[in-house]
Amino acid sequence: DEDIDLLDASVEDPDEVRYLPALPVLAIVGRPNVGKSALVNRILGRREAVVEDTPGVTRDRVSYRAEWNGRFFTLVDTGGWEPDARGIDASVAAQAEVAVDLADAVLFVVDAVVGATSSDERVVRMLRQSGKPVLLAANKVDDAVQEPYIAELWSLGLGEPHPVSALHGRGVADLLDAALTVLPEVSAVAKEEVGGPRRVAIIGRPNVGKSSLLNKTAGEERVVVNEVAGTTRDPVDEQIELGGKVWRFVDTAGIRRRVHLQQGADFYASLRTTAALEKAEVAVVLLDVSQPISEQDVRIIDLVLESGRALVLAFNKWDLLDDDRRRYLEREIEQDLAHVAWAPRVNISARTGRHLEKLVPALELALASWDTRIGTGKFNAFLAELVAAHPHPVRGGRQPRILFGTQAATRPPTFVLFTTGFLDPGYRRFISRRLREIYGFEGTPIVLNMRVRE
Ligand code: GDP
């Protein structure tokens, strides 16, 4: 089985597999005490004592790698859905909603003995809106005596209820068989898991010094790693050792092979940049300090922001900088690059080799920020403090409240805020600024999404 081979290879030698297909994601959702944890333990084949759901306690989504019949998938366990989705209860509901967004399919668990409650019905509405395939598991059907209970669950409109007993294992095999039929081979929502060297795109307008930088970094004093036959998926990339670590510079062939296009050069340059960004995790945008910062430079930076990649700004040709030009440069940076003031900056010369070693800590910082995850508890404490000190301005007699927030994803850090109304763009920028003040996030864009409640 190909999936298994890939996984084994990734364990033995992370450099061997760089593009691992993301496993499909199954989110398990349901009210507290319907037996989600027991079912998770059963699916994972764990023997540990069943952890009881504690109503009202917010916990982060927990992901497990699960396997059934030789197929692997990611099982995401969420907090329970509270009867009344308000306040702290809204938070668990929101957790589940985010988990559903990030899943390929949903396993919705109800208590067959209790039957479908009104809060179950609310969840069902949300699940329907999500458009995701949903499997309905009716838990606590420990033996045939409880079977008749499940008939009424058809009314939820989620199709056939699957009777299971998480405790005894009854029906779980059939349920998992059904789950595998709705899960795709490769996740449509989870990001590709990638092992191996981190991927860097060197971008910038023509003549800023991209190929000079590449030549210098790959030059005599640094080792060009020989590519082992068969391991390189893309021959246009190059692996270069910098600061004791191997990095993958993507699409270097495009930089080295300088194609001089007359017409539409800009268009092709931007296509090339977009393609390189697509493959990269972090971008080094090169700027030529001997020239004024141009619209094209800013456009390239904006492409990085749109791509959601980490960003390092490298000011090249520093050897050409005189005091006069330096003053202008500082003003230009303030004016044109204020929106990326969070990006690490290195002042280099690809010609002389000046400060090239500073690229590595800048790349590492940007990537660490890009990977950062803030726990839900911490993030909500942050929000509570922010709102207490700076409440949202009242607009037309109304003041939108933030009910709850969670970080839905990393790479780049992506936050979801559940609110009672639209937040002013200014207030959202304020939240982003505070996030940067408290947590750093140097070198990464931050995405802040809103979900407005009725
Ligand atoms: P690319 O189009 O971005 O790949 O730019 P190149 O690497 O071809 O560089 C364009 C021109 O700038 C060449 O003439 C380089 O020699 C020169 N150049 C590149 N880096 C530096 C630098 O740090 N200092 C100086 N003085 N010139 C540089």
What pLDDT, in 10s, does the model give residues 169-197?
A: 999 999 999 999 999 988 887 766 566 78
Q: Higher-confidence residue: 452 or 259? A: 452
Mean predicted confidence (pLDDT) in 127-131 = 90
Return d(Cα 119, Cα 124) in angstroms, integer. 9
- Cα of 206 vs centre of ligand 1, distance in Å, is 9
- Distance from residue 361's CA to the centre of ligand 1 (Å): 23
Q: Is the ipTM of this complex over 0.90?
A: yes
Q: Is residue 169 part of an annotated ligand binding site? A: no
Q: Tell me what the pLDDT averaged over the chain comes to.
A: 83
Bridge partners, 11 (sequence order):
none
If you measure from the C-alpha of residue 316 to the centroid of ligand 1, how many angstroms do you get, rounded to a whole number? 8
Evaluate whether 350 touches 209 at the Cβ level (below 8 Å).
yes
Centre of ligand 1 from the C-alpha of residue 278, in Å = 25
* Closest alpha carbon to 316 in 417, 451, 216: 216
Q: What is the 3-state secondary structure (H, E, C) of the chain?
A: CHHHHHHHHHHHCCCCCCCECCCCEEEEEECCCCCHHHHHHHHHCCCCCCCCCCCCCCCCCEEEEEEECCEEEEEEECCCCCCCCCCHHHHHHHHHHHHHHCCCEEEEEEECCCCCCHHHHHHHHHHHHHCCCEEEEEECCCCHHHHHHHHHHHHHCCCCEEECCCCCCCCHHHHHHHHHHHCCCCCCCCCCECCCCEEEEEECCCCCCHHHHHHHHCCCCCCECCCCCCCCCCCCCEEEEECCEEEEECCHHHHHCCCCCCCCHHHHHHHHHHHHHHHCCEEEEEEECCCCCCHHHHHHHHHHHHHCCEEEEEEECHHHCCHHHHHHHHHHHHHHCHHHCCCCEEECCCCCCCCHHHHHHHHHHHHHHHHCCCCHHHHHHHHHHHHHHCCCCCECCECCCEEEEEEEECCCCEEEEEECCCCCHHHHHHHHHHHHHHHCCCCCCCEEEEEECC
Lowest mean pLDDT among 25-29, 80-84, 165-169: 80-84
- Give 54's pLDDT tier (boundaries 50, 70, 90): very low
Q: Would the CB of 217 count as within 6 Å of ligand 1?
A: no
CB 255 near ligand 1, within 6 Å? yes
Task: Give residue 454's pLDDT.
Answer: 64
Residue for token digits 């420990």?
A: 142
Mean pLDDT of 368-394: 94
By the 10 Å C-beta count (0-12 exposed, 13-18 middle, 19+ buried), 262 is classed as: exposed
Whether residue 139 is annotated as binding a ligand: the answer is yes
Angle (CA) 308-408-109 rounded to 5° is 145
As given in the structure block, the two tokens for residue 209 are 């010094």
Question: Bridge-partner residues for 105, per DSSP?
Answer: 26
Q: How confident is the model at residue 395 (pLDDT cuts 50, 70, 90)?
A: confident
Confidence of residue 318 (pLDDT cuts 50, 70, 90): very high
Q: Is 31 annotated as a binding residue?
A: yes
pLDDT, residue 188, reads 83
- pLDDT surpassing 80 at residue 345: yes
